[in-house]
Structure 1
Amino acid sequence: MKLNFQKQYDYADGLFKDVYSFTNTKKFQPLKSIDRDLVEEVFNFAYGMSFGGEGHHRVHRTGGSNRRSNGELFADTFQGKLAEFALWSTFKDNNLDVVRPDTEMYGEGLWDSSDFNFKEKKIAVKSTKSYGQLLLLESEDWNNEGLYIPNLNTGSESYDYFVLIRLEPFTADILLKNRLYFNNTASEEKLKGLISEYEYTFDIPGYMSRRTLIEMIRRNYFIPKGAYLNKIYKKNLIDANNYYIQTGNLKNIKGLIDDLIQL
């Protein structure tokens, strides 16, 4: 099911803007909390990969124009790695022996492999805030065959499944509230104390297969850079061209677990 599209008038500049709104959503239903020792491990990883300067992440997304600060890099890294541990713990709870998420810090050129590889099935993990309703994939990263362009000819260009994890609270919101999101420096001790104040819960609205991604591309499930989600508001501005699927169209995670158990 596609997003609803309409033109809305922006009184700030007197122009009509593209606005997309949800048509098939799922309510956030937390499954469990993430263990505090894992939160600390993920913090150490995310701090090193951002403020600590110990690893490499792209400073802007493939099609994005926003150059990310260390605060933004920290939030994205922390959120993404927490999501990996959330799925890993779910697999463990269902007796799937999946390799533990990696928290080693690597240099440029050693990233963007699959998040999980279970019996030759590659699984990508995507994360969003608890009220997020879209699994987004930057269109410039994917070709018409559903292959990940940055990894072409490496043996890691094909993902079998994509899983969406929603987290509460959202790391970017914590940093924004404390005026750290756009910073390039932050005290490790202060930031760790701030992050440790919260309990992190998650849900899994669902998953999709590579076949679904190919169909999304073919049917132009696409939201362009510069458009807005739901209403004209700075925080709702889309920074890069994306393919999308709504949470209401994702398959129940139990289906993926059952498929993996049968392998």
Structure 2
Amino acid sequence: MRILLIGYGKMGKTIEQMALAKGHQIVGTIDHTNSETLQKYTAANVDVAIEFTHPEAAFGNISYCLTNGIPVVSGSTGWLDKFDEAKKLCSEHNGAFFYASNFSVGVNLFFHFNEYIAAKMQAYKAYKVGIREIHHLQKVDKPSGTGITAAEGILANYPILSGWVADEETEGKLNIISEREPDVVGTHIVTYSSEVDKIELAHVAHSRAGFAEGAIMAAEWLKDKEGVYGMKDMLNL
């Protein structure tokens, strides 16, 4: 496939290496130094775009792809207040859009098990649930998109909680604690604590390779499709 990389940081470079190793072609790389060159790419010279950028740039990049017939896979976080607009654009232009806060197969299994455990644990009022996420110092958004997705999975199955909050204890809310440390790829821990014991579900990423591999899998899977998709669709979860 002819892949356009929008975002050329650590993740973009890892995706490039793995995509080339799988026989795909990288037709261009876009970052903040050459963002204006995005305008030269169309469905005529790109099969799919893979977009990993900052929150303030993501929606504009996704909009450009959808309005110009380029299927787009995005893993950018911190912009989801405009997600419904992106879905509308995708529908209006008969486009293809694949979004995930995290492309790791392991993380998406973590999401799946997280929802199952929440549905069981909500009956046991002695346990208090919380989320802790740890990332590298360059991680811009807090909480992480993966942390928020985990929170949403709990809230959908935990009726006594009315929403989530960041780094504060609030009655009736799910607290997401965010920590930033050197050289941490990504760790997410869901904890159920009582006075007598503690239950934890954790995912610890050892490298970015799993995220990059999942993004490329999504790009391959999105070929010849229309609509809005996510990891649950691809993994049949």
Which of 1 and 2 has higher RCO (CA within 8 Å, sep 6+)?
Answer: 1
Please state which band the TM-score falls in when normalised by the shorter chain.
under 0.3
From the two aligned structures, give the one with the greater helix fraction: 2
TM-score (norm 2): 0.26
TM-score (norm 1): 0.24
